[in-house]
Amino acid sequence: MRKKVIAGNWKMNLNLQESISLISGIKNGLRTLSSNVEVIICPPYTSLETASTLVKNSHVKLGAQNMYFEESGAYTGEISASMLKSVGCEYVILGHSERRTIFGETDSTINKKIHKALASGLLPIFCIGETLDEREKGITFDVVKRQVVEGLKNVDTENMKKIIIAYEPVWAIGTGKVASKEQAEEVHAFIRKELIALYQSDVAEQIIIQYGGSVKPDNAVELLSQPNIDGALVGGACLKVDSFLGIIKAC
């Protein structure tokens, strides 16, 4: 039985004061909620250190939204894996579609980031997913397979066990157009089949595969009850205490 993992990707939202207030609300809400769901929050860089102090001794884990694959040096504006570790991050989101489309990240840069994160003791939340154009062309499985194979190139079995995969169809992100449970489950099952081919079934069966794209409290139950959907990577709905807790309750 895989546990459920709910992660909140805050994206470029909430200043420090707003971050403190959201985290307090989440912690208070979780106190009255007996749940064995793993909860991860991924605030912007500027709130990470404070967030790390606030989530200490709670069930909430901390992640960042991105990092660079070099250790240090002349990379103006970038943040390294060891910097994220030093402020208490356990997780890092890598390969989000907004990083791919707006900032030009490729499968190959994402692969380098995955290796650097793992070598630095960070657990990657590795995002994949097709665009609307790719879905309409009928190449969803080809795209997702390429992202899995290229993104995970040279990742060994022991390291694979540390990775969470987030399937986020790009057309469902921030659009309110959630994938149907059948559409999502079909791709999740395909991803697991690819993982079995790459890593054998005992490893593939352990891997958490989250769904992301317009997840809300009212659609979470049907998505999360699919056999291969092990959690959610939540955008908009993670910025409000009630909706984020509502999704956790759905588990």
- The site for ligand 13P (CB under 6 A) is made up of 9, 96, 168, 173-174, 212-215, 233-237
Query: Is residue 108 exposed (0-12), middle (13-18) or buried (19+ Cβ within 10 Å)?
Result: exposed
Smaller CB distance to ligand 13P: residue 60 or 231? 231
Check if 205 is active-site.
no
Residues whose CB falls within 8 Å of the CB of residue 142, separated by 6 or more in sequence, listed in order: none
Q: Could you tell me how many residues make up the chain?
A: 251
Q: Which residue is nearest to ligand 13P (CB)?
A: 235
Residue of 168, 185, 188, 194 marked catalytic: 168
Q: Choose between 151 and 235: whose C-beta lies nearer to ligand 13P.
A: 235
CB of 82 within 8 A of CB of 73?
no
Nearer to ligand 13P, 4 or 96 (CB): 96
The one catalytic residue in 96, 130, 134, 194 is: 96
62 contacts 40 by C-beta, under 8 angstroms: yes
Q: Provide the minimum distance between the beta carbon of 101 and ligand 13P in the complex, in angstroms, as a whole number.
A: 11
What is the nearest approach in angstroms of ligand 13P to the Cβ of residue 175? 7
What CA–CA distance (Å, rounded) separates 209 from 211?
A: 7
Min CB(34)–ligand 13P separation in Å: 26
CB of 157 to ligand 13P, least distance (A): 27
Alpha carbons 27 and 20: distance in angstroms, whole number: 11
Active site residue 70: no
Structure tokens at 40: 């991860």
Sign of the dihedral through C-alpha 69, 73, 74, 76: positive
Q: Which residues are catalytic?
A: 96, 168
